Structure 1
Amino acid sequence: MRKQFLVLLILVWGASAIKAQQKFNGLDVNLGNLYRTSDAKTRSISPENFNGEKGKGGMATTGTGLGPSRDLGQKWKVSPSVVIKKKTTYTVAEIDGSGAVQHIWMTPTGNWRYSIIRFYWDDETTPSIEVPVGDFFCMGWGKFAPVTSLAVVVNPGSGLNCYWPMPFRKKCRITMENIDNEDMVLYYQVDYTLTEVPKDAGYFHAQFRRVNPLPFKKDYVLVDSIRGKGQYVGTYMAYGSNKNGWWGEGEIKFFMDGDTEFPTINGTGTEDYFCGAYDFDTHKVDKNGVESSNYTEFSGPYTGLPQVIKGDGHYNIAQRFGLYRWHITDPIRFDKDLKVTIQDLGWHQDGRYMPLQDDVASVAFWYQTEPHAPFPKLPAKDQLEVN
Structure 2
Amino acid sequence: MNFGLGSLPLLSDAETRSISAENPTGEKGGGAKAVPDENNPAFLLGKGWKVRPCIDLEPQSTTVLADIAGPGIIQHIWITVDTKAYRDTVLRMYWDEEEKPSVEVPLGDFFCNGHGMRYNVVSIPIAVNPSGGFNCYFPMPFRKRALITIENQRWEKITGFFYQITYALTDLPEKIAYFHAQWRRSMTKREHPEHIIVDGIVGQGHYVGTFIAWTQFSSGWWGEGEVKFYIDGDTEYPTICGTGTEDYFGGAWCFGQTFNAPFSGYPLWHKRFGEAPKHAMYRWHIYDPIRFKQNLKVTIQALGWWPNGRFQPLTDDIASVAYWYQVEPHAPFPQLPSAEERWPR
TM-score by length of 2: 0.97
Deviation (angstroms), 1:215: 5.5
What 5-or-longer segments of structure 2 have no aligned partner? Answer: none
CA-to-partner distance for each residue in 1:125-178, whole Å, 9 max, x for gaps? Answer: 000000000000000122221111001000011000000000000000000000
Structural mapping, 1:105-124, within 5 Å: 105-109=78-82, 110-124=84-98
User: Is 2:306 the counterpart of 1:348?
Assistant: yes
User: Is 2:279 the counterpart of 1:305?
Assistant: no
SS of the aligned residue for 1:182 comes to: coil
Give the corresponding residue for 1:358.
316
The share of aligned pairs that are identical, in percent, is 50
| RMSD of Structure 2 on Structure 1 (CA) | 1.3
Structural mapping, 1:1-387, within 5 Å: 26-28=1-3, 30-62=4-36, 67-109=40-82, 110-185=84-159, 186-212=161-187, 214=189, 216-281=191-256, 296-311=257-272, 313=273, 315=274, 317-387=275-345
Question: Matches of 2:191 and 2:35 in 1, distance apart?
Answer: 58
Higher helix share: 1
Amino acid at match of 2:42: S
Amino acid at match of 1:106: I
Amino acid at match of 1:326: W
CA-to-partner distance for each residue in 1:214-265, whole Å, 9 max, x for gaps? Answer: 4542321011110000000000000000010100000111001111111100
Is the contact made by 2:76 and 2:165 (CA closer than 8 Å) also made in structure 1? yes
Question: Matches of 1:207 and 1:101 in 2, distance apart?
Answer: 18
What 5-or-longer segments of structure 1 have no aligned partner? Answer: 1-25, 282-295
Is the contact made by 1:118 and 1:130 (CA closer than 8 Å) also made in structure 2? yes
| Bigger shift: residues 360-369 or 105-114 | 105-114
Is the contact made by 1:66 and 1:78 (CA closer than 8 Å) also made in structure 2? no
Question: Matches of 2:109 and 2:121 in 1, distance apart?
Answer: 13
Deviation (angstroms), 1:212: 3.0
Structure number with bigger Rg: 1
TM-score by length of 1: 0.87
Deviation (angstroms), 1:62: 4.7
Question: Matches of 2:174 and 2:92 in 1, distance apart?
Answer: 24
Is the contact made by 1:310 and 1:319 (CA closer than 8 Å) also made in structure 2? yes
* Runs of 4 or more above 4 Å deviation: none
Deviation (angstroms), 1:383: 1.1
Is the contact made by 2:193 and 2:303 (CA closer than 8 Å) also made in structure 1? no
Give the corresponding residue for 1:10.
none
Is the contact made by 1:211 and 1:359 (CA closer than 8 Å) also made in structure 2? yes
